[in-house]
Amino acid sequence: MRGDVIAVEIVERDAGRAVDEFLVELADDDILPLLLSEIAEVDGVLVEEAHPITGSFRDRRLDAYDTAALIVAERTPQDVVRALTCRARHELDALWAAVIDVESGMLIAAEGLTPAAPWITAFVEEGRRGDPTAASHENDVEWVDLAAWDLVLVVGRPGWRLGTRERDRMAALARLADARWMDFSERESRISYPARASRSSGTTQTGRSLPGSRVPRPPVRSAEVC
């Protein structure tokens, strides 16, 4: 069909069955229906979904490095959350992504055609209660806790299932964001409690809170739209 396979990725493997993602460049979009019908003729092969991808080919591994570099380079909590939201949408080819404070129902950052904050809040709360109706019919909305921030990252890709691979990527993004929170906390601790020389060893200790004290949380409470 004059199609050019330019990338292949194994998405899931289970019970002797594999789900693979092929990125195919076609000379003409009108070829797609015929291409899918030809693939369907191959024994043991089923096409689950086919979606157009806009823009030039991206190396997903390089995307991950770019995301880490961008988030690490940010110097304020607000900028980290905004960068996280934008990169989550980019890496997952999502229609929208948002970071929300579920407790207050406030959108902290949003990218794309984001649903209203009350809908997102209700979706996450129902999911936490284990309500089976909370899951999207197509599993095209997923969320992950940003534990250190007391926030939630939510991503939507309507009509395009978010599978195990996407959930793993979201979990990795959450770990990266939480690591940056620790950086901010340690910096705040150093400002609040300057370095003190250790009497026992003569070494300098920094970045630790005094017993019973709590490091102030940098404010992240104003809505940001990328």
What are the extents of the domains in the chain? Answer: 1-56, 60-187
pLDDT at 136 (0 to 100) = 45
Q: Which residue in the block uniquely carries the two structure tokens 């015929």?
A: 34
What CATH number labels 60-187?
Answer: 3.30.450.40
Tell me the C-alpha distance between 226 and 213, whole Å. Answer: 35
Rounded Cα gap, residues 88 and 55, in angstroms = 17
The neighbouring-strand residues paired with 97 are: 111, 155
pTM metric for this prediction: 0.72
Q: Helix axis angle, 60-73 relative to 77-91, nearest 10°?
A: 170
**Residue-level pLDDT at 203:** 36
Q: Which residues of the chain have pLDDT under 70?
A: 55-57, 131-138, 193-226
Residue 221's pLDDT is what? 43
CA distance 170 to 24: 25
So what's the pLDDT on residue 161? 84
pLDDT given for residue 207 in this prediction:
35
Burial class of 100 by CB neighbour count within 10 A (0 to 12, 13 to 18, 19+) = buried
Predicted confidence at residue 152, as pLDDT, reads 97
